[in-house]
Amino acid sequence: DVKVTQSSRYLVKRTGEKVFLECVQDMDHENMFWYRQDPGLGLRLIYFSYDVKMKEKGDIPEGYSVSREKKERFSLILESASTNQTSMYLCASSSLGLAGAAETQYFGPGTRLLVL
Protein backbone atom coordinates (compact mmCIF):
# COMPACT_ATOMS: atom_id res chain seq x y z
CA ASP A 1 0.00 0.00 0.00
CA VAL A 2 1.04 3.55 -0.74
CA LYS A 3 2.26 5.35 2.36
CA VAL A 4 3.12 8.98 2.95
CA THR A 5 3.56 10.05 6.56
CA GLN A 6 3.98 13.46 8.12
CA SER A 7 5.67 14.02 11.43
CA SER A 8 2.79 15.82 13.16
CA ARG A 9 -0.95 16.12 12.66
CA TYR A 10 -1.19 19.27 14.77
CA LEU A 11 1.47 21.80 15.68
CA VAL A 12 1.38 25.03 17.66
CA LYS A 13 4.35 27.39 17.42
CA ARG A 14 5.25 30.93 18.42
CA THR A 15 6.01 33.75 16.01
CA GLY A 16 9.69 33.77 15.14
CA GLU A 17 10.30 30.10 15.89
CA LYS A 18 12.01 27.85 13.37
CA VAL A 19 9.62 25.08 12.37
CA PHE A 20 10.39 21.76 10.72
CA LEU A 21 7.74 19.70 8.99
CA GLU A 22 8.87 16.25 7.98
CA CYS A 23 7.47 14.01 5.29
CA VAL A 24 8.45 10.42 4.56
CA GLN A 25 7.30 8.16 1.74
CA ASP A 26 7.96 4.46 1.38
CA MET A 27 7.16 4.07 -2.31
CA ASP A 28 10.60 4.91 -3.70
CA HIS A 29 9.08 7.91 -5.49
CA GLU A 30 11.34 10.40 -7.20
CA ASN A 31 9.05 13.41 -6.85
CA MET A 32 7.96 14.99 -3.59
CA PHE A 33 5.86 18.09 -3.01
CA TRP A 34 4.80 20.48 -0.28
CA TYR A 35 1.47 22.29 -0.55
CA ARG A 36 -0.40 24.56 1.77
CA GLN A 37 -4.16 24.62 1.88
CA ASP A 38 -6.23 27.60 2.98
CA PRO A 39 -10.01 28.06 2.91
CA GLY A 40 -11.18 29.56 -0.36
CA LEU A 41 -7.72 29.31 -1.92
CA GLY A 42 -7.44 25.59 -2.48
CA LEU A 43 -4.00 23.94 -2.52
CA ARG A 44 -0.98 25.96 -3.48
CA LEU A 45 2.45 24.57 -4.21
CA ILE A 46 5.28 25.76 -1.99
CA TYR A 47 8.22 23.65 -3.20
CA PHE A 48 8.84 20.39 -4.93
CA SER A 49 11.78 18.07 -5.44
CA TYR A 50 12.39 15.65 -8.28
CA ASP A 51 15.55 14.07 -6.89
CA VAL A 52 17.76 14.00 -3.84
CA LYS A 53 19.25 17.42 -3.13
CA MET A 54 17.20 18.93 -5.97
CA LYS A 55 14.44 21.44 -5.33
CA GLU A 56 12.27 23.79 -7.30
CA LYS A 57 10.18 26.73 -6.12
CA GLY A 58 6.47 26.49 -6.44
CA ASP A 59 3.92 29.27 -6.47
CA ILE A 60 4.44 30.56 -2.91
CA PRO A 61 8.00 29.78 -1.70
CA GLU A 62 8.52 32.99 0.28
CA GLY A 63 9.20 32.35 3.94
CA TYR A 64 9.90 28.64 3.37
CA SER A 65 12.85 26.44 2.53
CA VAL A 66 13.14 22.70 1.94
CA SER A 67 15.64 19.92 2.33
CA ARG A 68 15.90 16.56 0.63
CA GLU A 69 18.95 14.66 1.80
CA LYS A 70 17.44 11.22 1.27
CA LYS A 71 15.06 10.01 -1.39
CA GLU A 72 12.31 9.08 1.03
CA ARG A 73 12.35 12.25 3.13
CA PHE A 74 11.36 15.81 2.24
CA SER A 75 11.41 18.50 4.91
CA LEU A 76 9.70 21.87 4.89
CA ILE A 77 11.32 24.57 7.01
CA LEU A 78 9.76 27.78 8.20
CA GLU A 79 12.83 29.85 9.03
CA SER A 80 10.95 32.32 11.23
CA ALA A 81 7.29 31.41 11.62
CA SER A 82 4.71 34.13 11.19
CA THR A 83 0.99 34.18 11.88
CA ASN A 84 0.20 34.25 8.16
CA GLN A 85 1.81 30.83 7.89
CA THR A 86 -0.98 29.32 9.98
CA SER A 87 -2.36 26.76 7.58
CA MET A 88 -2.78 23.12 6.65
CA TYR A 89 0.39 21.69 5.11
CA LEU A 90 0.18 18.68 2.83
CA CYS A 91 3.04 16.59 1.55
CA ALA A 92 2.72 14.42 -1.57
CA SER A 93 4.89 12.11 -3.62
CA SER A 94 4.74 10.62 -7.09
CA SER A 95 6.79 8.41 -9.33
CA LEU A 96 8.68 9.81 -12.28
CA GLY A 97 6.18 8.35 -14.73
CA LEU A 98 6.62 7.26 -18.30
CA ALA A 99 6.98 9.91 -20.97
CA GLY A 100 3.57 11.34 -21.62
CA ALA A 101 2.02 9.89 -18.48
CA ALA A 102 0.84 12.12 -15.67
CA GLU A 103 1.77 10.24 -12.52
CA THR A 104 -0.61 10.15 -9.59
CA GLN A 105 0.36 12.07 -6.46
CA TYR A 106 -0.25 10.44 -3.12
CA PHE A 107 -0.73 12.61 -0.09
CA GLY A 108 0.10 12.40 3.57
CA PRO A 109 -2.46 13.11 6.30
CA GLY A 110 -1.54 16.78 6.59
CA THR A 111 -0.19 18.96 9.39
CA ARG A 112 -2.39 21.69 10.82
CA LEU A 113 0.01 24.42 11.94
CA LEU A 114 -1.05 27.25 14.20
CA VAL A 115 1.38 30.12 14.68
CA LEU A 116 0.61 32.35 17.65
Binding site residues, other proteins, CB under 8 A: 9, 31, 33, 35, 40-43, 45, 48, 50, 56, 58, 88, 90, 92, 100-110, 112
Tell the burial category of 112 from Cβ atoms under 10 Å away from its Cβ (0-12, 13-18, 19+).
middle
Q: Which is nearer to other proteins, 68 or 110 (CB)?
A: 110
Q: Which is nearer to other proteins, 16 or 109 (CB)?
A: 109
Q: Which is nearer to other proteins, 15 or 91 (CB)?
A: 91
**How does strand 73-78 pair with strand 64-70?**
antiparallel
C-alpha neighbours within 13 Å on the C-beta side of residue 47: 21
Closest approach, Cβ 51 to other proteins, in A, equals: 9
